[in-house]
Amino acid sequence: MNALPHPITEQAIADFLAGTPEFFERHAELLASVRLSSGLAGRAVSLQERQASLLREKIKGLETRLVEMIRNGQDNLAIAARMQAWTRRLLRTAQARELPQAIVEGLVEEFQIPQAALRLWDVDAAHAHESFAQGASDEVQAFAASLDVPYCGANSGFEAARWLLRPSQAQSLALIALRADKGAPVLGLLVLASPDARRFHAGMGTEFLERLGELAGAALSRLHAPLAVLQAEPLEQPEQALAPEQVQPVQQAEQAEQD
């Protein structure tokens, strides 16, 4: 027997079946007679059973993704509630010098962060004696200025870790530069710490930490404002209009001067 000029390949058969869905309508008996390997100890199953198995696996995968999405949504709601409570705490802080403590305590209480601390520099002279304005070296300030995004990772002897109450327990850190606004000069550094070496790591997302830094920086900018708003030059007062009964005497006086 002569060889076919165009031998039939598996790809040709697959293309034919994919482009001819009515084939199995004309040959319905094949759906039950074709036996496929199930992948389970080499047991053969019908084409219909194999299709059903694939659908079950796909549905199981979709259910897993749905559960994960629901869990993530619940986590996001919880984070949003904590963020709102923390922000509300800052808004209720009337005295500017109490803001650093409110920020740190709020982070520890609302977000279950084991340790937190911050330092500011170039503060107003009225707050220069406060503890939060002490202890930030030039090296720390330069490091903070270099941070476009928060640093997350192991505590490799960072100076900022010494601001914590228990620095020896800080195995992982998040270091967040504080700015009054995007693109503004750095006014301080916020440090978050955990005894868990995996709590803050280089591969984690930093968007949430960035939002924390933006809110804290905006609130702390009050400590860099001048003590009192400079008095503006007094506006020139408009001339008071004369009452009708005053107009005639004034006109008479001007006429007398001209004479």
Q: Tell me the residue type at 150.
A: P
Beta carbons of 221 and 180 less than 8 angstroms apart: yes
What sign results for the dihedral spanned by CA atoms 149, 155, 158, 160? positive
What sign results for the dihedral spanned by CA atoms 173, 109, 185, 130? negative
CATH code for the structural domain at 114-224 = 3.30.450.40
Element (H, E) at 192: strand 186-194
Residue ranges per domain, the chain? 10-53, 114-224
Distance, CA of 23 to chain centre: 54
- Structure confidence at residue 253 (pLDDT): 56
Question: For residue 193, what are the β-bridge partners?
Answer: 115, 173
The 10s digit of each residue's pLDDT in 144-178 is 999 999 999 999 999 999 999 999 999 999 999 99
pLDDT over threshold 60, residue 25: yes
Determine the longest span between alpha carbons in the chain, in angstroms: 139
Per residue in 13-30, is it b (16+ CB within 10 Å) or e — as a string? eeeeeeeeeeeeeeeeee
The two tokens of residue 231 are 């008095």
**What is the average per-residue pLDDT within 110-122?**
95
CA–CA distance, 143 with 158 (Å, rounded to integer): 10
Distance, CA of 146 to chain centre: 19
pLDDT over threshold 60, residue 236: no
Instruction: Answer whether 0.75 is exceeded by the pTM.
Output: no
